[in-house]
């Protein structure tokens, strides 16, 4: 998602772009994404006002950006801004979250819900709920449809896409990065953007740079149920549930430090479904439809790397977006395009500087 978003922005700016992908596009972190677009929920969790504003701006530009992808490709992404409800089954957790809203000065943007209000909006939720939070500005899109639409848009804009091509090392002359050595030969460029998801760290290490990114496995599944009706994305009781336009529900998601293992396991799916049924009891009768897993790029502090790599001309990093790649893809693409063109970024990027781990050591 991140590499394709950057490519889309650069192509629109008139740049020639070659996209190198070790497998097929959208087969890793994007395949582990539920397609949640939750800038307000991320704002609540943000540790600083700068990061909070980053998510706020991301949410503001996302719909216009996806609409531009749809216009170029002619393919819809099923964008829906129906809101998200975070449901609580524990009074202490609810009180803590309600206090967080006040501490983050988000009372004007988020709505605290009583148990009756939760069930009025979503009657399928358990009667055991003790309340919730309505994130009215949040929503979802279908990650597979976004993948198809964005890949089509890139092709129409003239992007050179090299799938099943491994990037082995970054090429440099002194401290100027001049391209990348791949399994299909050397590629040369004025600017090289490392957006390799969970594989970004290994590529940057070829320049002896410590930019830690680790794969975090996410397992998900889909079910169908005629007994459950949901309008909002539901988060809580250890799960997230997204109602799809075709009547199915996407459910997830695990967070596993399992290396590069992408196998779906019965134990993991069973555990998630057990939690799901605590919050939506009728889901115990749901029909199983599908399951899948992908690898998301995690970082030690939970923040992505976005920006020029200090000490190396012609090198930009855009990696480590973990669970927010779909949400932050557009703003990351815009930011990288602005860096390449020498423009002031739309939002400050200091907290996302790529070498922060090395500089703090």
pLDDT in tens, 1-31: 899 999 999 999 999 999 999 988 876 666 5
CA–CA distance, 141 with 187 (Å, rounded to integer): 34
Q: State the DSSP code for 283.
A: G
Q: Please check whether residue 2 is in contact with residue 329, taking contact to mean a CB–CB distance below 8 angstroms.
A: yes
CB atoms closer than 10 angstroms to residue 78: 17
Give residue for tokens 């320049």: 207
Q: Assess if CATH 3.40.50.300 describes domain 214-298.
A: no
**Mean pLDDT across 265-278:** 96
> What value does the mean pLDDT of the chain take?
93
pLDDT band at 94 (very low <50, low <70, confident <90, very high): very high
- Which residue ranges make up each domain of the chain? 2-77+142-211+301-360, 84-136, 214-298
Q: What whole-number distance in Å separates Cα of residue 233 and Cα of residue 60?
A: 19
Mean local confidence (pLDDT), 145-149: 92
Q: How far is CA 207 from CA 67, 165, 169, 299, 311, in A?
A: 38, 20, 8, 19, 11
Q: From its phi and psi, is residue 122 left (phi > 0), alpha (psi between -120 and 50) or beta?
A: beta
* Residue 184: both structure tokens together: 């299909």
**Is 2-77+142-211+301-360 a domain of CATH 3.50.50.60?**
yes
Q: What is the pLDDT of residue 350?
A: 93
Strand partners, 222: 250, 290
CATH superfamily of 84-136: D-Amino Acid Oxidase, subunit A, domain 2 (3.30.9.10)
């Amino acid at each position: 998602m991140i590499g394709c978003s950057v490519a889309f922005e650069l192509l629109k700016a008139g740049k020639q772009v070659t996209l190198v992908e070790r497998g097929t596009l959208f087969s890793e972190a994007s395949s582990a994404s539920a397609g949640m677009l939750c800038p307000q929920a991320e704002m609540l969790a943000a540790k600083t006002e700068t990061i909070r504003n980053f998510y706020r701006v991301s949410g503001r530009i996302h719909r216009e950006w996806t609409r531009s992808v749809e216009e170029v490709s002619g393919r819809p992404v099923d964008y829906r801004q129906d809101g998200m409800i975070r449901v609580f089954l524990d009074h202490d957790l609810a009180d803590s979250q309600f206090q967080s809203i006040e501490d983050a000065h988000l009372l004007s943007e988020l709505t605290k819900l009583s148990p009756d209000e939760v069930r009025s909006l979503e009657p399928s939720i358990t009667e055991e709920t003790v309340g919730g939070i309505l994130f009215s500005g949040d929503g979802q899109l279908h990650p597979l449809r976004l993948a198809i639409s964005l890949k089509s848009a890139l092709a129409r804009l003239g992007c050179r896409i090299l799938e099943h091509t491994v990037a082995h090392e970054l090429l440099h002359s002194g401290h100027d990065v001049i391209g990348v050595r791949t399994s299909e030969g050397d590629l040369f460029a004025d600017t090289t953007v490392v957006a390799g998801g969970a594989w970004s760290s290994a590529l940057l290490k070829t320049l002896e740079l410590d930019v830690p990114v680790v794969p975090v496995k996410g397992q998900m599944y889909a079910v169908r149920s005629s007994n459950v009706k949901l309008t909002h994305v539901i988060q809580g009781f250890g799960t997230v549930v997204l109602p799809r336009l075709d009547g199915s529900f996407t459910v997830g998601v695990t967070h596993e430090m399992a290396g590069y293992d992408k196998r779906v396991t019965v134990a993991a799916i069973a555990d998630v479904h057990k939690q799901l049924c605590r919050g939506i009891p009728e889901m115990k009768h749901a029909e199983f439809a599908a399951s899948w897993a992908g690898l998301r790029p995690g970082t030690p502090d939970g923040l992505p790397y976005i920006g020029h790599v200090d000490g190396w001309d012609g090198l930009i990093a855009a990696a480590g977006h973990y669970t927010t790649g779909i949400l932050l893809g557009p703003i990351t693409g815009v930011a990288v395009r602005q860096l390449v063109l020498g423009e002031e970024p739309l939002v400050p990027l200091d907290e996302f500087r790529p070498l922060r781990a090395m500089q703090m050591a």
